[in-house]
Amino acid sequence: RKSVVRITTGSQALDELLGGGIETLCITEAFGEFRSGKTQLAHTLCVSTQLPLHMHGGNGKVAYIDTEGTFRPERIVPIAERFGMDANAVLDNIIYARAYTYEHQYNLLLGLAAKMAEEPFRLLIVDSVIALFRVDFSGRGELAERQQKLAQMLSRLTKIAEEFNVAVYITNQVIADPGGGMFITDPKKPAGGHVLAHAATIRLMLRKSKGEQRVCKIFDAPNLPEGEAVFQITTGGLMD
């Protein structure tokens, strides 16, 4: 039986909300409006995952699938310095791939699984998990097929999480939900419907606050109490 590892987010408040950090063996999803910090959390986790266990890291490598072209290696440098790590060594342990279609994204996962069988990985990031599906299946009549392919991709992610004891961190977009009436006060919901809702064990909703301050709310998690944490986005990554 594999034992769960919890990886620090860089913010103690956020770690406490999560019961210690981002967990291996399951999928953690973050959704929220643009600039809410989804990608910055991904960058911080790229570094903190490589910390030793006694420093709340995962002592492992990172795989990063980028569908939006927003990974910035130069952002890794000050984050590594903040944690007292060698930036070049940290960058060497991030296996990065840009995906251009949903099929490409799926095939990259197959290749990564082969790599994970040989090397100790502790985190897989897919930022964003859904963007390419929304482009590749944009037609009205394509929704059923999109959801079927999305389910396949997510089941592959779950399998990787469990087989290699890695944390899977995926980001998602918010979509307007017109709901049943015209006067809905909270019209935003995560994309991906029931398929994504069922695949992600821990669903986090991020939102902007003043300046570089952000708020994370537990949207859905079976074992965590409801609550919120406030954190900051800084040059050194997420902090309190």
Residues of this chain that bind Mg ion (CB under 5 A)? 38-39, 70
Nearer to ligand ATP, 38 or 164 (CB): 38
Nearer to ligand ATP, 24 or 171 (CB): 171
Rounded least distance, CB 143 to ligand ATP, Å: 22
**DSSP H helices in the chain:** 12-17, 38-48, 73-82, 87-92, 102-116, 131-136, 143-164, 193-199
Exactly one of 38, 56, 122, 149 binds ligand ATP (CB under 6 A); that residue is: 38
Q: Is 81 in the site for ligand ATP (CB under 6 A)?
A: no
Q: Is 11 in the site for ligand ATP (CB under 6 A)?
A: no
Nearer to Mg ion, 68 or 81 (CB): 68
172 binds, among ligand ATP, Mg ion, none (CB under 5 to 8 A by kind): none
Token pair for 46: 């790229």
26 DSSP 8-state letter: S
Interacting span for ligand ATP (CB under 6 A) from 11-19, 34-42, 93-101, 135-143: 34-42
- Per-residue burial over 42-79, b if 16 or more Cβ lie within 10 Å, else e, is bbbbbbbbbbeeeebbbebbbbbbbbeeebeeebbbeb
Rounded least distance, CB 183 to ligand ATP, Å: 26
Token pair for 207: 């939102």
Question: φ and ψ at 131, to 5 degrees?
Answer: -55, -45
Work out whether strand 27-32 and strand 6-7 pair parallel, antiparallel, or are unpaired: unpaired
Q: Is 34 in the site for ligand ATP (CB under 6 A)?
A: yes
35 binds, among ligand ATP, Mg ion, none (CB under 5 to 8 A by kind): ligand ATP
Question: φ and ψ at 95, to 5 degrees?
Answer: -90, 115
Q: Is 234 in the site for ligand ATP (CB under 6 A)?
A: yes
Q: Which residues bind ligand ATP (CB under 6 A)?
A: 32, 34-40, 70, 212, 233-235
